[in-house]
């Protein structure tokens, strides 16, 4: 059975906040870790409990939603963020999304829209984490290359033939072939195209 989706809700309107909490808690696969009325409390809860999704009002007393998001990003928090606002404008929405928010909802938010946003947040975050794990696994393979193999790899991804790589590095063409074979073995690439994809996916 899949683990519950853990949600924190932060909105300074108590009736609206309670309504959102009821909508989320009515779902068998979701739970509300906390429903709070200000950004400072939300920050402490999120730092302490690391929920899957933080549903944040943009405007709250003291620490607003955007400022809270900035602090969470700076602290390396992994919670996906969904914003809600009754004062939406394009500039605020763009800023929120550029900072990593998954969705930007205009109030009044109906239950179906909120639940869809929470589920999308978890799906996108799961995909992001999978991609990060894949990139790190690729980097581990590439870090296993020797300094000379890295030099050969650089010429390989540039598309240089063995003869030009040999001239570039001052080694024999036969040695280049040996290094290329070792590179393919260490990275697990079955073709030149796959090797280039791995280098690109690893961010190198």
Distance (Å, whole) CA 72 – CA 113: 24
* pLDDT average, residue stretch 42-52: 92
Over 70: is that where the pLDDT of 1 sits?
no
**Could you give the residue range(s) of every CATH 3.40.50.2300 domain in the chain?**
5-131
Angle at 197 between CA 153 and CA 161, to 5 degrees: 40
For residue 74, what is the enclosing H or E element? helix 65-74
Span 141-154, pLDDT tens digits:
888 899 999 999 99
* pLDDT attached to residue 43: 93
Bond preceding residue 44 cis, omega within 30 of 0? no
Name the average pLDDT for the chain: 88
pLDDT tens digits, one per residue of 73-123: 888 888 889 999 887 677 787 888 887 788 888 888 888 999 999 998 888
pLDDT at position 17 is 93
pTM score of the predicted model: 0.64
The confidence score (pLDDT) of residue 128 equals: 74
Q: Write the CA distances from 45 to 38, 40, 95, 159, 195, integer angstroms.
A: 11, 9, 24, 52, 44
**Angstrom distance (rounded) from CA 101 to CA 55:** 10
pLDDT of residue 19 exceeding 80 = yes
18: Cβ contacts below 8 Å, ≥ 6 apart: 35
Pairing of strands 80-85, 30-36: unpaired
Residues of the chain with CATH 1.10.10.10: 144-201
**pLDDT value of residue 147:** 92
Overall average pLDDT of the 172-180 stretch:
94
CATH class assigned to 144-201: mainly alpha
CA distances from 116 to 27, 119, 190 (A): 12, 5, 40
Residues 5-131, CATH architecture: 3-Layer(aba) Sandwich (3.40)
């Amino acid at each position: 059975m899949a683990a519950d989706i853990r949600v924190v809700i932060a909105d300074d309107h108590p009736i609206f906040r309670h309504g959102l909490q009821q909508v989320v808690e009515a779902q068998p696969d979701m739970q509300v870790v906390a429903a709070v009325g200000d950004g400072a409390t939300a920050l402490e809860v999120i730092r302490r409990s690391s929920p899957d999704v933080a549903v944040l009002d943009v405007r709250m007393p003291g620490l607003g939603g955007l400022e809270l998001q900035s602090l969470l990003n700076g602290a390396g928090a992994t919670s996906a963020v969904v914003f809600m606002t009754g004062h939406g404008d394009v500039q605020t929405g763009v800023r929120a999304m550029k900072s990593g928010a998954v969705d930007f909802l205009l109030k009044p938010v109906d239950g179906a829209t909120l639940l869809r946003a929470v589920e999308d947040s978890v799906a996108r975050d799961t995909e992001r984490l999978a991609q990060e794990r894949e990139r790190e696994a690729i980097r581990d393979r590439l870090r296993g290359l020797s300094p000379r193999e890295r030099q050969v790899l650089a010429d390989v991804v540039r598309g240089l033939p063995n003869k030009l790589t040999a001239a570039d590095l001052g080694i024999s063409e036969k040695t280049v072939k040996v290094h290329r074979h070792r590179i393919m073995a260490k990275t697990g690439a079955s073709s030149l195209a796959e090797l280039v994809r791995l280098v690109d996916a690893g961010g190198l």
